[in-house]
Amino acid sequence: GSNNLNLLFPSGQFGTRLQGGKDAASGRYIYTRMSKYTRSIFHPDDDDVLEYLTEEGQNIEPKWYCPIIPMVLVNGAEGIGTGWSTNVLSYDPREIINLLRALIRGVELHDIHPWYRGFTGSVERNEKGGYDFLGKVKMASDDRTVDITELPVKTWTQNYKEFLQEMMQAGQEAITQEKKAKAKAKRRAAAAASSDAGSEPSTPPAAASGEKDKEKKKGPAVKLGDLKE
C-alpha cells in the first residue's frame, strides 16, 4: 500500500500495513521533508522551463511537474471520477528506467509486471487480463498450525486477523453443534435399544391355553410295531 518511491520522507508514524495507514499518528505529531532522491527525479535544470502559477502577485508552485520517469507507473494511481474510475498498478522503477533507455535506443520493449516494494508474495496474470497477488502460507511442523508469512497487496494485517477470528469462531460453533447433534442421536439410539429390550414379545395366555388343550386332546403316540392286522 505504500509508494515504491516516496517523494516525501515520513518522519514519524505515517501508518503501517497493520491497518493500511489508518493507524497513522495525528498531523501534529508527524513531520516530513523531501526525500534525498526527489530532486533527482524532478531535476533542478528543468525548473526554468516550468510554467508557474501566481497568487497575489507572487509565483507559487508549477502548474505541472516534469519528472524524468513516469511516476504514475512507479507509485500507481487509484481514483474515482464522474462516471469513470482508474486503477494504475505500481511497477519497479528500475524496470521502468531500463524500458525508457531501450525506447531511446530503439530496442524492442518487453512486458513488465506489477511490483510493490517489500512485497514477498507472487504476482500472476489471470484470465481476465489483470493480475492476482498471492500471499505466502505454509503448514507448520505440528501439522495443525498454518503460518501466514505474507498477505496479498492491500490486504491489511488487522482486517485479515479479524477475518480469521470470525472464521475460526464460526467453525468452532459448527463443531459444537455437530457434537451436540451426535450426542443427541446417541442418546436416542440408547433409549430405543433399552425400550426394545424391556418389551420382548411373549406368548399370549389365550394362545398358550389353547395349545395345552390341543395337547390334552391328542392321544398317546402309537408305534408301527403295535399295529395288528
Q: Report the catalytic residues.
A: 29
Determine how many CB atoms are found less than 10 A away from the CB of residue 121: 18
Exposure letters 152-188 (e unless 16+ CB within 10 A, then b): ebebbeeeeeeeeeeeeeeeeeeeeeeeeeeeeeeee
Whole-angstrom Cα distance, residue 1 to residue 14?
Answer: 12
Whole-angstrom Cα distance, residue 155 to residue 110?
Answer: 29
The DSSP 8-state label assigned to residue 123 in this structure reads: E
Q: Identify the CA nearest to 114 among candidates 84, 160, 77.
A: 77
